Structure 1
Amino acid sequence: MNQDKRQAYWRANTALIRNLLIVWALVSLVFSILLVQPLNNIRLGGVPFGFWMAQQGSIFVFVGLIFVYAVQMDKIDRKYGVNRRSK
């Protein structure tokens, strides 16, 4: 892989990580801590939504982020011809 292609691959990789970390920060800090009181006015199955988001919802989002990362990195690897299998 030439230098330009490596740099493009690394930019795509870091952009994906940055975007997923932004989602992680929004869910963990904003929705689960900073906005917990306003979100508690919404009920989800009889439970205040802010509480549910802090206890369960954030975990669902975090697991989803793992799958999104795996799928997107696979696409980036294929786009730039990165193959982890040794021949």
Structure 2
Amino acid sequence: MEDTASRNAYWKANIRIILISLAIWFICSFGMGIILRPMLSGIMVGGADLGFWMAQNGSMYIFIILIFVYASVMNRLDREHGLEE
């Protein structure tokens, strides 16, 4: 019984981490690059407005950062549940 509860807690935490990562990625890529682009046009980053920069470069940088953060958080979660390699 305890094993099942631990397994369910692990997967619940795993799904929560995935959903948070997807929400951040969606906000940065679709939200800031497309929906909020007109509002961000006055902020300049590297010679281009922030909305254009997020659509072209920023969302890729955010995605790469999310990969490393996800790996780190999942390693910690694995250690907490005794599933580390």
TM-score range normalised by the length of the shorter chain: over 0.9
Cα shift at 1:38: 1.3
Moved over 4 A (4+): none
- TM-score by length of structure 2 reads 0.92
Q: Which runs of 5+ in 2 are unaligned?
A: none
Tell me which residue corresponds to 1:70. 71
AA partner of residue 19 (structure 1): I
Distance 2:69 2:48 in 1: 28
Over aligned residues, Cα RMSD in angstroms?
Answer: 1.2
Matches within 5 A, 1:1-87: 2-84=3-85
- TM-score by length of structure 1 reads 0.90
Aligned length: 84
Identity of aligned residues (%): 42
AA partner of residue 63 (structure 1): I
Cα shift at 1:37: 1.2
Distance 1:56 1:83 in 2: 34
Distance 1:83 1:51 in 2: 41
Cα shift at 1:48: 1.2
